[in-house]
Amino acid sequence: MNGKRNAGFDCLRATACLAIILLHTTYSTGLMFAPELTFRRAAIGGMVQHNLMWAVPCFIMVTGALLLSPEKHITYGALFKKYIARVVKAIALFGVLFVALEMIFNPGQRTGEHFLSGLYDVFAGDSWSHMWYLYCLLGLYLLMPLYKKVTELAEERDLLYLMGIYGLFLSVLPCLEAVGLRCGFYVHVSSIYPLYLFMGYWLRRWGRSKSRALYGGLFLGSTAAIAALSYVRVRWGVAQVDVLFEYNSPLVILQALGVAGWFFHLSDEPSPVKSVLQNIDRHSFGVYLIHMAYIRLLFKHMHFDPFRFGGMAGILLTAAIAFAAAYVTDMVMKKLPLFKSVV
């Protein structure tokens, strides 16, 4: 808040960025090379993919920790000129860029009709799949002044009550449908993502009094449960467990809380690992925006098959290549007038 970097927040964002790239690489591998998926490959891929769903929630939790703090004063002018404008620019700029890339790599789509259709997809939220986070972030920013009023007045028990209501009605009760139970009770909110904002604020203000071991236990326990359920999903085709791999899953919530709580305990004392992660964090937004272009290029257009390089080892190699290419691209974009105000 006073201009000093927070090592825990920086390192968490960087780690989440790397996790997202691996998540998208693993998911894309399953789509592009489905005929090559043996049971072993599908099981391992599912465990890896489902156990990385904490990454985006942790991004949102850092946002909550930073922007909901009483020390952070945000006027409506700053909200729209700084935060909202940046997201809108990112959606417009990268939405058009991805439309152009689709036309470049697909000769049959190089028509005005396809271009206009692509622009409509950007408006409708049907652009490249990872862009959904920007639309989510925009909605959170628009309501930020009201969220801040809540945290400015709330004591810990008030915030725990609010988070409990969100968790019960938007996470626990919807999961009952996995066992055939449909609950008719509801509260007048429809998105789980404000819960992550409030969790981030709670962690920063009160959560540091909890032991780091507690957060480590939450992460390990939820990770083991997700891994077991992933195996069940692949081994026996139990589709009902899919609800437990989504962002509103109680297990994903606990996993994200465990990861964020552990990182929030990090001291600001410098170390080589922290320096590397903080450097990655400075490029994390641009890397997030552009990394899917390289994953698509490798898989869809260069026909790079990670299974020729040892399965999971090949997926890790692909993710590393995509990250390196996106990192260099972000360095270039930061020097270009059109992009530097966004990334």
What's the whole-number mean pLDDT along residues 280-304?
96
DSSP string, 83-111: IIHHHHHHHHHHHHHHHHHHHHH-GGG-S
Mean pLDDT check: name the lowest of 73-82, 105-114, 121-130, 235-244: 105-114
Task: Output DSSP code: residue 240.
Answer: G
Contact (CB, 8 A) for 48 and 26: yes
Residues 146-172: pLDDT tens digits?
Answer: 999 999 999 999 999 999 999 999 999
**How many C-beta atoms surround the C-beta of residue 156 within 10 A?**
11
H helices present in the chain, as ranges:
7-32, 39-50, 55-67, 76-78, 85-105, 112-124, 132-142, 144-153, 156-167, 173-175, 193-205, 212-236, 250-264, 272-281, 284-296, 312-333, 337-340
pLDDT (tens digit per residue) in 98-140: 999 999 888 888 888 999 999 999 999 999 999 999 999 999 9
